[in-house]
Amino acid sequence: MSAYGSGYAIDIPRLPVGAMFESVINWLRNNLAALFDIIGDVIDSSVAALSGFLTDPSAAQLTLIACLVIAIGLIRRGQLRLVGVLVAAYLALVLLEALTGAVTVVISSLPGALFIWAMNLFGAAYVYPPLVLVLLLLAALLVTSAVRTASRHQWILAAGVTGAWLLLLIGVYIVGVQFELFAVLIFASLAWFIAGWRLAVFTVLGFLLVISMERWAEAMSTLALVLVATGVAVVFAIPIGVIAAYSDRVSMLLKPVLDFMQTMPAFVYLIPAIAFFGVGQVPGVIATVVFAMPPGVRLTELGIRQVDKELVEAGEAFGAPDIQVLRGIQLPLALATIMAGINQVIMLSLSMVVIAGMVGAGGLGNVVYSGIARADIVLGFEGGIAVVIVAIFLDRLTAAVPRFSPAARAKRMALG
Amino acid sequence: MPAVRADKLYKVFGKRADQAVELLSDGRPRDQLRELNVTAAVIDVSFEVDAGEIFVVMGLSGSGKSTLIRMLNGLLEPTAGTVEINGTDITTLPSNELRRLRSRHISMVFQHFALFPHRTVLDNAAYGLEVRGVPRAERREKARYALDLVGLEGWEDHVPEQLSGGMKQRVGLARALTADTEIILMDEAFSALDPLIRRDMQSQLLQLQARLGKTIVFITHDLNEAMRLGDRICMLRDGRVAQIGTAEEILNAPANEYVAQFIEDVDRSRVLRASSVMEPPTAVLGPAHDPRAALRTMRDNQTSSAFVVGSDQTFVGVVRDGAIGEAGRTGATDLTGLVDPGVERVHPDTTVAELFHRSAVTPHPLPVVDDAGHLVGVIPWTALLAALASGDGAGSGISAGSPPARAEAGAGATQRPVESEEGAR
Ligand SMILES: Nc1ncnc2c1ncn2[C@@H]1O[C@H](COP(=O)(O)OP(=O)(O)O)[C@@H](O)[C@H]1O
Ligand SMILES: [Mg+2]
């Protein structure tokens, strides 16, 4: 009853906004359960695989990474076709092995002496066929580097990567050093290559601090969650941004939707996400994707719209189809802006980590949340510091990526 | 078959464009379309461009030039009318065929160069062939050749930002040349350049054109540039054609007040050519002429020299009264030994600017001799001055190709025929 009198209050009907939302959610859950299960499984297994790889990779995975680096070097030196053939052959063999076990048969038919020494050296109980296959790929790439390119850089790259890979295997499997320390070195060299020595130094010190706080596994789990969420967000954000850049109408419709996504308190996403996927990493990733995607869309649209109209027209005037204009002119020239968007997506994802920890997403979020729940200052603060270290590492790293775009390279050339 | 043909082209921007076209085709001026809320950029434009011709579209800013040129390669769809390229109506082509047409037959050079900043000069030049799917090695070789043509050898591996404005536009030109299309559209290609560099680029374009014989549609807002480059010029005013013709036709017979005003500040000395200021030769003699009769002819024409032509008007040289006077004493019976064959002669295409200093060192009118060696006219000093005295007198000359026999009206080689002075009005 109003304090100012009675009888004249205007009756405003109660609109069941929340209830309507809930019924939509229920309907979706009842009718599309299978779809959500699939999405949930895919996200769950990718986060688990990535986080497993970051904390405790297998020898085959490490070899694959070495192959990747060498292959990128080869592709940049114009060997795309050959690398494609090798990778295709490798994938075919992997598929063959998975379906028929043919590789296992071949391996067991070979003389045992070929493998015994290595099994003894690494203390392995049996020969693992995928490792054999990826070793073959590595050998093929090394031969290609030596034979097909006259570039000294490629030789140095191949030799360096192979040497580092051997050291890593020996260090981890023979000497028995923990993988964390090598991981710090790998992250630091990535930081050095992409952003320079300052970030490399920061990476070494920061990640060693994380190890010493005994939060390495959680940090890697958080990193995996952020990377998967960012990956999903980017996969949606860039095409949507491109469409919005091409169509004023889509852009107009999108604007309020993006505003809504970004201003809705992030906690709210957790409720339907749990309804769909239960507790765990998946609702964390989903809520993070929804919350973090908008800047990716916005900056992609902005970046493409900013490209000089005359350049797009030049592409069209020489008969380039839209897709070629997009790929060859608009995306490369918008790359710096798009990367700024991705950088923001990553930062927003990290800010969601703690919130996601509330629904059992694990990782550093869980640590911080436990700290809050138990009023444990030590736990909360250390978890927070680890989040900050991961955040700075990712931020500086992604901020430096546009340096590698063709546009930035051209600008550097122009400066002399 | 013309290389490019525009027929009753209209481009109106806005929702009610078709309605606007109807009103415009009834002659309504474009500023009276406000109630339709449309912009009429191009109105009822028709022209034909022959293969190998430089066709210049000239007009002030906002007169619809860019809109017009973009309809020629299908970047903009006309509201009404048709565009034909090599006889094919492109306004009805599906978009993939249109793209094919652009990549094979029409390339373009842009006002602000529109070079791709993230590609090297070489890869910029090779772009057209890349779109067409030509293998890398081949397209790079062709791009290198085109860059050599425009004088940029050695710059292949630089990026556009490292180049000056003039060099950038040469890359733009090389990109169009590499695409190896027979038609090149140039939208204010030189307008963003400094005046001196602009002149260089114009000269270079003319030299290249003499070698390559492309069909060029060139857009400019600079009448001097239009007159210098254009085989023919189309003057646009507020989206409509004001006049189409050669530079000299426009100078000598502006179609309306607007064009007349426009050509007031043209540097006529660089546009007008010998053929349009020359006069019919008087005092023309054959080599077999009697020296004393020759002397009499000169006196009748109030000159001190006469032009000697052989059979079918082949120019032989000049004979002066002094030489004949001496000959009288030695007893020559014809002019053969008296002719000075080494006198300065000029081609019908020589510009008036050049005629000036040639004329200054020649005591008699300059003989104009065509490629076949025929004497087609003469240019006395006074004709040069009159040609530059703008408007009213400029049409006095005989046109190129008309026979020099049209001479009766001339009172003398140094006096201008009265009859044609009136004809120019
Ligand atoms: N896309 C467009 N939408 C609306 N009006 C346009 C558009 N493009 C050009 N115009 C208008 O058409 C007229 C002619 O423009 P334009 O062809 O660019 O002239 P010019 O190249 O001769 O300067 C101008 O009034 C311009 O504002
Ligand atoms: Mg223009």
Render B95-133 in DSSP notation, one character per residue.
HHHHHHHHHHHEEEE-TT----TTS-HHHHHTHHHHHHT
Q: How far, in Å, from the CA of B62 to the mean position of ligand 1? A: 6
Q: What does the CA dihedral A303, A309, A315, A316 come to, rounded to 10 degrees?
A: 120
Q: Do B116 and A329 touch (CB under 8 A)?
A: yes
Q: For CATH 3.40.50.300, list the domain ranges present in chain B.
A: 4-269
The tokens of B66 are what? Answer: 């860019």
Among candidates A310, A311, A414 on the partner chain, residue whose Cβ is nearest the Cβ of B159: A414
CB atoms within 10 A of CB B96: 10
Please report the pLDDT score of residue A4 as a whole number: 62
Pick B280 or A183 by higher pLDDT. Answer: A183
Indicate if the alpha-carbon torsion angle B264, B269, B274, B278 is positive or negative: positive
Q: Is the CB of B13 within 6 Å of ligand 1?
A: yes
Mean of the pLDDT values across residues B217-237? 93
Q: Does A319 touch chain B (CB under 8 A)?
A: yes
Three-state secondary-structure class, residue A139: helix
Q: Is the CB of B220 within 6 Å of ligand 1?
A: no
Q: Is the CB of B209 within 6 Å of ligand 1?
A: no
Q: How far, in Å, from the CA of B31 to the mean position of ligand 1? A: 14
Tens-place pLDDT, residues B306-342 = 888 887 788 888 888 888 777 767 777 788 778 888 8
Which region holds residue A196: left if phi is over 0, alpha if psi is between -120 and 50, else beta?
left
- Percent of chain B scoring above 90 in pLDDT: 50
User: What's chain B's average pLDDT?
Assistant: 85
Q: Is the CB of B31 within 6 Å of ligand 1?
A: no
Three-state secondary-structure class, residue B140: helix
Identify all chain A residues contacting B73, using CB atoms and an 8 Å cutoff: 317
Q: Is the CB of B79 within 6 Å of ligand 1?
A: no
Edge-first strand listing for the sheet containing B284-285: B284-285, B305-309, B315-320
Q: CB-side exposure of A53: number of CA atoms within 13 Å?
A: 16
Q: What does the CA dihedral A264, A267, A270, A271 come to, rounded to 10 degrees?
A: -90
Q: Is the CB of B160 within 6 Å of ligand 1?
A: no
Chain A residue at shortest CA distance from B73: A317
CB atoms within 10 A of CB B148: 13
Structural contact between residues A352 and A363, judged by C-beta atoms closer than 8 angstroms:
no
Q: Does B104 touch chain A (CB under 8 A)?
A: yes
Residue-wise DSSP of A386-415: HHHHHHHHHHHHHHHGGGGSHHHHHHHHHH
pLDDT band for B264, please (50, 70, 90 cuts).
confident
What is d(CA B87, CA B76) in angstroms, rounded to the nearest whole number?
A: 19
Ligand nearest to the CA of B111: 2
Q: Is the CB of B61 within 6 Å of ligand 1?
A: yes
Q: Domain spans of chain A?
A: 54-177, 185-211, 216-408
Closest by Cα among B75, B71, B74, B4 to B41: B71
Q: Do B162 and A414 touch (CB under 8 A)?
A: yes
Q: Determine which residue's CA is closest to atom 20 belonging to ligand 1.
A: B62
Structural contact between residues A334 and A300, judged by C-beta atoms closer than 8 angstroms:
yes
Strand B305-309 with B284-285, pairing? parallel
Closest by Cα among B410, B418, B417 to B282: B410
> Which residues make Cβ contacts (< 8 Å) with residue A129, sequence separation at least 6?
A97, A103, A104, A107
Structural contact between residues B366 and B344, judged by C-beta atoms closer than 8 angstroms:
yes
Tens-place pLDDT, residues B32-79 = 888 888 999 999 999 999 999 999 999 999 999 999 999 999 999 999
Please report the pLDDT score of residue B33 as a whole number: 83
Q: Is the ipTM of this complex over 0.85?
A: no
Largest pairwise CA distance in chain A = 99
pLDDT band for B413, please (50, 70, 90 cuts).
very low
Task: List C-alpha distances in Å: B423 to A235, B246, B395, B417, B420.
Answer: 75, 19, 7, 11, 5
Domain B275-424, CATH number (from 3.40.50.300, 3.10.580.10, 3.20.20.70, 2.60.40.1930): 3.10.580.10
Q: Residue for token digits 């919005």?
A: A244
The tokens of B28 are what? Answer: 């309504």
Q: CB-side exposure of A256: number of CA atoms within 13 Å?
A: 3
Chain B residue at shortest CA distance from A310: B114
Please report the pLDDT score of residue B273 as a whole number: 80
Q: Is the CB of B330 within 6 Å of ligand 1?
A: no
Partners of residue B319 on adjacent β-strands: B306
Q: For CATH 3.10.580.10, list the domain ranges present in chain B.
A: 275-424
Q: How far, in Å, from the CA of B63 to the mean position of ligand 2? A: 8
> Which residues make Cβ contacts (< 8 Å) with residue A150, sequence separation at least 6?
none
What is d(CA A12, CA A16) in angstroms, rounded to the nearest whole number?
A: 12
Among candidates B160, B161, B179 on the partner chain, residue whose Cβ is nearest the Cβ of A318: B179
Mean of the pLDDT values across residues B382-394? 67
Written as one letter, the residue type at A58 is S
Q: Decide if pLDDT at B398 tops 80.
A: no
Q: Determine which residue's CA is closest to atom 2 belonging to ligand 1.
A: B13
Q: What does the CA dihedral B330, B331, B332, B334 come to, rounded to 10 degrees?
A: 150
Q: CB-side exposure of B230: number of CA atoms within 13 Å?
A: 30
- Residue A173 DSSP code: I
Task: List C-alpha distances in Å: A278 to A22, A350, B62, B309.
Answer: 16, 21, 63, 108
Mutation site for A-interface testing, chosen from B102, B113, B116 by largest number of A Cβ within 10 Å: B116
What is d(CA A284, CA A289) in angstroms, rounded to the nearest whole number?
A: 9
Q: Is the CB of B66 within 6 Å of ligand 1?
A: yes
Q: What is the pTM of this model?
A: 0.79
Q: Does A45 touch chain B (CB under 8 A)?
A: no
Q: Do A407 and B117 touch (CB under 8 A)?
A: yes
Q: Decide if pLDDT at B400 tops 50.
A: no
Pocket mutation for ligand 1, best pick of B11, B36, B39 (most atoms within 8 Å of C-beta) = B39
| End-to-end CA separation in angstroms for chain A | 77
- Residue B133's Cβ-count burial label (10 Å; 0-12, 13-18, 19+) is exposed
CATH class of B4-269: alpha beta
Ligand nearest to the CA of B237: 1
Structural contact between residues B17 and B38, judged by C-beta atoms closer than 8 angstroms:
yes
CATH class of A216-408: mainly alpha
Closest by Cα among B260, B330, B323 to B295: B323
Q: Is the CB of B59 within 6 Å of ligand 1?
A: yes
Please report the pLDDT score of residue A140 as a whole number: 92
What is d(CA B190, CA A160) in angstroms, rounded to the nearest whole number?
A: 52
Largest pairwise CA distance in chain B = 90
Q: Determine which residue's CA is closest to atom 7 belonging to ligand 1.
A: B13
pLDDT band for B410, please (50, 70, 90 cuts).
very low
Please report the pLDDT score of residue B390 as a whole number: 54
* A23 Cα distance to chain centroid: 34
- Residue B142 DSSP code: H
Q: How far, in Å, from the CA of B82 to the mean position of ligand 2? A: 21
Q: Does A414 touch chain B (CB under 8 A)?
A: yes
Please report the pLDDT score of residue A6 as a whole number: 64
What is d(CA A67, CA A158) in angstroms, rounded to the nearest whole number?
A: 9
Q: Does A313 touch chain B (CB under 8 A)?
A: yes
Element (H or E) spanning B57, and its range? Answer: strand B54-58
Closest by Cα among B170, B162, B118 to B143: B170
Q: Does B74 touch chain A (CB under 8 A)?
A: no
Tens-place pLDDT, residues B115-155 = 999 999 999 999 999 999 999 999 999 999 999 999 999 99
Identify all chain B residues contacting A330, using CB atoms and an 8 Å cutoff: none
Q: Do B99 and A319 touch (CB under 8 A)?
A: yes
Interior CA angle at B226 toward B70 and B267, to 5°?
A: 160
Closest by Cα among A219, A223, A221, A200 to A211: A219
Structural contact between residues B317 and B270, judged by C-beta atoms closer than 8 angstroms:
no
The tokens of B164 are what? Answer: 């000056």
Identify all chain B residues contacting A409, using CB atoms and an 8 Å cutoff: 118
The pLDDT profile of chain A, 416 residues, written as one tens digit per residue, is 455 666 788 889 999 988 998 899 889 888 888 998 999 999 999 999 999 999 888 888 899 999 999 999 898 888 888 999 999 999 999 999 888 888 888 888 887 777 777 777 777 777 788 888 899 999 999 998 888 877 888 889 999 999 999 999 889 888 888 899 999 999 999 999 999 999 999 999 999 999 999 999 999 999 999 999 999 999 999 999 999 999 999 999 999 999 998 888 888 888 888 888 888 889 989 999 999 999 999 999 999 999 999 999 999 999 999 999 999 999 999 999 999 999 999 999 998 888 888 888 889 999 999 999 999 999 999 999 999 999 999 999 999 988 888 888 888 888 76
pLDDT band for B278, please (50, 70, 90 cuts).
confident
Chain A residue at shortest CA distance from B123: A328
